[in-house]
Structure 1
Amino acid sequence: MSTTGKVIKCKAAVLWGLKQPFSIEEVEVAPPKAYEVRIKILATGICRTDDHVISGAMTTKFPVIVGHEASGIVESIGEGVTTVKPGDKVIPLFLPQCGKCSSCINPNGNFCAKADATGKGVLSDGTTRFTCKGQPIYHFMNTSTFSEYTVVDETSVAKINAAAPLEKVCLIGCGFSTGYGAAMNTAKVTPGSTCVVFGLGAVGLSVIMGCKLAGASRIIGIDLNKDKFDKAKSVGATECISPKDYTKPINEVLSEMTDNSVGYTFEVVGSLETMIDALASCHMSYGTSVVVGVPPSSKMLTYDPMLLFTGRTWKGCVFGGWKSRDDIPKLVSDFMAKKFDLDQLITHVLPFDKINEGFDLLNKGESIRSVLLM
């Protein structure tokens, strides 16, 4: 029986408040309105950004359905939708591409004006499509993929190769694309260069994969958790170190290790202190440092401007610099052509109702990427 135009009741993981576990609830998902798409989510990854909502490091409204790294199939479309149809395999996009704002029009920009950067938690018309126990539930980053069904604006969905394995390419919805693009697009790593990656989670490992493909000759991984070193080396790191093993500042350690030749550094932790360390660690005259980790909300950064005055470049990076609707289908095609391997990033595959277990693995440092199957 067709569900088009009808409210769908399904399972979703609802966060009712700060620092609470996910609660698996029955929610009602309204049909898509004009220029909206309702998606049946089949696989969704657990990303550190989702955990920032739980901890309060990222601002949003409660109750909320988070999740933003996923893949699924279009269930129905609203009036005026032309780029996808029911049955299409798709990736929902936490970073939309409206094609009309100044960022979308400029070839060097990708931070679309329609992105939910302030945590307003609603779709374009100012309302939500989720209800639970008689009350509205807020959206997260235009996606809300911790639900069996979700509704997104047409600008927040990309049609992908019909043969793509959804349980793998869901990572292209955030983690892999963010790190890989930071190296390839934002830093534009050059062959023979030396790169340093601070933070060896899924995004940091994806940075390493991008640096390797770009031809970097030396890639140094940095993390406090040495259990991540073997995995980092398996995807391309030439060596790994922990700051805990040194008494000197990490930038001095790296300068000595590399004969002062670090061309690129990547901060993939989301720590203000690490951002300064990463900036100080690239070469004072020609180094480029890229901020990849999501900074904590409402925090200000203080640093010595001499770090920039001498010639360093400091860059920010959202979603790897990709123009989401244009580039995500291409990245899926590259995966299908075996240009990179997503299996290296997936350490756990869990049923959806084990979502709290997945976040425990993340917070204990025991997983790289856990994928939830609906």
Structure 2
Amino acid sequence: MAWQGVKAMGITTPRHLALALALALVLMSWTTNASNKRPQNSGIDKNLNVIDRCWRLDPLWRHHRQRLARCSVGYAGKMTNNIGPGVTRYRVTDNGDDPMNPKPGTLRYGATQIRGKVWITFPKDMNIKLHRPLLVSSHTAIDGRGANVNIAGGACIKLLGVTDVIIHGLRIHNCQTQETVEVMGPEGHIIRIDYPDGDAISVISSTKVWIDHNTLYDCGDGLVDHMRVTVAFNYFGPDCDQRMPRVRQGFAHVVNNLYQGWGLYAIGGSMNPSVRSEANLFIAPDAGRKEITWKLRGKGGSEWNFGSTKDVLENGAVFTQTGDVGLEPHYNPAVAWGAGEALVMEEVQVSPPQPMEIRIKVVCTSLCRSDITAWQSQANATMFPRIFGHEAAGIVESVGQGVSEFEEGDHVLTLFTGECMKCKQCTSVSSFSEYTVVHSGCAVKVSSIAPLEKICLLSCGVAAGLGAAWKVADIARGSTVVIFGLGTVGLAVAQGAKLRGASQIIGVDTNPEKSEKARVFGITDFINPNDCDEPIQQGWGLTVTLGVPNVKPEITAHYATFLTGRTLRGSLLGGWKPKSDLPSLVDMYLREEIQIDEFITHNLSFEEINKAFDLMKEGKCLRCVIHMPK
């Protein structure tokens, strides 16, 4: 199968063949019906690119086509506006084309005449000759998977002033220039198009457009007039003259594409464009222009940035880098796209650290109960998509301007709150990713000899429990302490109470299986509230609340309750000043004065992060430490 695909592309030299095969894991499958011929359960989950991996693993993908909308990568984000209630499923059964009076069953009818969300598929291989450019309506998905769909020999595709369009898995080639024409456009409007010039896909004044896994060749231009776009997993050429893409006053991330020959250039721009080319294979034509890029300096200004990283340049291809060509690393975060939905691995480009920021290579992160609560949207605002995680340890990879307390190579803990407790920069961390960029106030330098896979727990849970016992409650020797909830934080409170010499430490939890484990941390008595109908004793004294509630975070109390001497006190991160105090907790661990290892019940790889969520939901773990790829 791989040999047939490479041969069809016209790659004949051994070196080009080897390179093409090497890139087969990240390049699109041009014969889109290959998925029909591939045996199921053939190990494809290990080898596919991020988009294919998202949907091919489902053997019933034909029945779940719209899941493709959640597989998109790049600036368009997830194409969720193309799915949901009210989607019209349209099958192209007629390869004919009438530009002014589209007939039901044709591609043009589905792409222009049906209002609302439309998902277009092809039940069989099809060759379609468009007599005039095809204007695609907003909220339209053209899904060529499962068939070999050629749009060739005539006009091609134009996206004009639309939004939420998916074009996936088509072969668009031999596009012809034309005189000025009129066509039936969306919603019955007749549109005049001046001199269509043979573009495979032209995108003008449009937003949220996702174009991937297409083959474009033998056309005047490939992709034109993009502003902010990701061009990924496409095959351009041979005999595609230029504009693959051309960027005017915008930014393009061009990644994992195959360029086999070009006429004038492959990637171009004007009016201050920025292009980042990454992991593409450029095979220059045997004769003619070897330069990949083209830039127009003119009225719009002469500043532009063209950068290349990990590109493969063959047959004399040349990529002239200019301007600020520094590229940021990619990282794979586990993204939550909806409340309670399984996290999905996505490839995202992380920005460089800005002034007073640092970029951290996360080594280990652990799952906190508050992550579960926020993921289930039971306490926090429903804000998705999100990258969760805050309890982590890592190594500083780079620092931004003005940062003096950190340098590359420092071992750090991330902090979900900085010591100032006020500014926005000190209230945000996302650690369920290989890299995270945080304000320098949201990290603390720790001893480099401390094992990061252990001390990451001091970034939140264990530190919060110890501090609640020592700094907030200030437990004295001989005290009686009652702890409601025997998760990691509750057991850390028990540990702190034990170290302070409390005489009786009562643990309260609805899970009887926690009783034995709790005694390791100092619990002397265990109560299951399900076994009690009435309060055992209505006591006085101090109540400390910590953690994130599942539901109804509001509380009510009669003022007389406090007149009689009862006290309610909140505790955030145990009252610690994170930068000043957490390094001392790390040192205490190194001196074996506090327990951390006993909290760790599971060590999982990053790919198993959803297993960690399941374990915590089911009450089968304390802390799952998640190890990032090295």
TM-score band w.r.t. shorter chain: 0.7 to 0.9
2:422 to 109, 113, 122: 113
CA contact (8 A) 1:200 1:221 kept: yes
SS at match of 2:429: coil
Question: What are the equivalent positions in structure 2 for 1:53-64 lying under 5 Å apart?
Answer: 53-57=374-378, 58-59=380-381, 61-64=383-386
1:91 to 395, 398, 413: 413
- What is the CA–CA distance in structure 2 between the aligned matches of 1:200 and 1:221, rounded to whole Å? 7
Aligned position for 1:18:
339
Question: What are the equivalent positions in structure 2 for 1:254-293 lying under 5 Å apart?
Answer: 255=537, 281=538, 283-284=539-540, 287-293=541-547
Aligned position for 1:48:
369
Aligned position for 2:392:
70
Distance 1:144 1:60, change over 3 A: farther
Distance 1:163 1:370, change over 3 A: same
Does 2:559 align with 1:305?
yes
Report the alpha carbon displacement of residue 54 of structure 1 after superposing the two structures with TM: 1.3
Does 2:583 align with 1:329?
yes
Report the alpha carbon displacement of residue 294 of structure 1 after superposing the two structures with TM: 1.5
- What is the CA–CA distance in structure 2 between the aligned matches of 1:51 and 1:361, rounded to whole Å? 11
C-alpha deviations, 1:24-77, integer Å up to 9, x for none? Answer: 111111110110000000000100111112111222632111100000000000
2:494 to 208, 211, 224: 208
Report the alpha carbon displacement of residue 6 of structure 1 after superposing the two structures with TM: 3.0
Aligned position for 1:79:
401
State, as a whole percentage, how many aligned pairs show the same letter. 43
1:150 to 418, 426, 436: 436
Distance 1:298 1:192, change over 3 A: closer
C-alpha deviations, 1:288-307, integer Å up to 9, x for none? Answer: 10001223577422223332
CA contact (8 A) 1:92 1:157 kept: yes
C-alpha deviations, 1:315-364, integer Å up to 9, x for none? Answer: 00000000011111111111111111101111011001101100100010
- What is the CA–CA distance in structure 2 between the aligned matches of 1:234 and 1:25, rounded to whole Å? 39
- What is the CA–CA distance in structure 1 between the aligned matches of 2:437 and 2:459, rounded to whole Å? 16
Aligned position for 1:186:
472
Count of residue pairs brought into register by the alignment: 305
Structure with more contact order per residue of length (Cα contacts < 8 Å, sep ≥ 6)? 1
CA contact (8 A) 2:339 2:382 kept: no
Q: Report the residue type matching 2:490 in the other structure.
A: G
Structure 1 residue runs of 5 or longer lacking an equivalent are 99-111, 117-122, 125-140, 256-280
CA RMSD in angstroms comes to 1.8
Does 2:526 align with 1:240?
yes
Task: Say which is worse superposed, 71-80 or 288-297, in terms of deviation.
Answer: 288-297
C-alpha deviations, 1:107-140, integer Å up to 9, x for none? Answer: xxxxx112x5xxxxxx58xxxxxxxxxxxxxxxx
Question: What are the equivalent positions in structure 2 for 1:17-36 lying under 5 Å apart?
Answer: 17-36=338-357
- What is the CA–CA distance in structure 2 between the aligned matches of 1:227 and 1:352, rounded to whole Å? 27
Does 2:599 align with 1:345?
yes
- What is the CA–CA distance in structure 2 between the aligned matches of 1:357 and 1:334, rounded to whole Å? 31
Instruction: Output the TM-score relative to the length of structure 2.
Output: 0.47
Does 2:432 align with 1:165?
no
SS at match of 1:44: strand
- What is the CA–CA distance in structure 2 between the aligned matches of 1:5 and 1:45, rounded to whole Å? 32
SS at match of 1:183: helix
- What is the CA–CA distance in structure 2 between the aligned matches of 1:373 and 1:161, rounded to whole Å? 19
Q: Work out which of the two has the higher radius of gyration on C-alpha atoms and give 1 or 2.
A: 2
- What is the CA–CA distance in structure 1 between the aligned matches of 2:550 and 2:614, rounded to whole Å? 21
- What is the CA–CA distance in structure 2 between the aligned matches of 1:5 and 1:53, rounded to whole Å? 35
Q: Report the residue type matching 1:317 in the other structure.
A: S
- What is the CA–CA distance in structure 1 between the aligned matches of 2:622 and 2:547, rounded to whole Å? 15
SS at match of 1:339: coil
Aligned position for 1:227:
513
- What is the CA–CA distance in structure 2 between the aligned matches of 1:348 and 1:295, rounded to whole Å? 24
Aligned position for 2:304:
none
Report which of the two has the higher share of helix.
1
Does 2:605 align with 1:370?
no
Report the alpha carbon displacement of residue 5 of structure 1 after superposing the two structures with TM: 5.3
Distance 1:198 1:299, change over 3 A: closer
- What is the CA–CA distance in structure 1 between the aligned matches of 2:381 and 2:582, rounded to whole Å? 26
Does 2:605 align with 1:355?
no
- What is the CA–CA distance in structure 1 between the aligned matches of 2:553 and 2:530, rounded to whole Å? 25
Aligned position for 1:8:
329
SS at match of 1:226: coil
SS at match of 1:327: helix
- What is the CA–CA distance in structure 2 between the aligned matches of 1:189 and 1:79, rounded to whole Å? 43
- What is the CA–CA distance in structure 2 between the aligned matches of 1:160 and 1:320, rounded to whole Å? 19
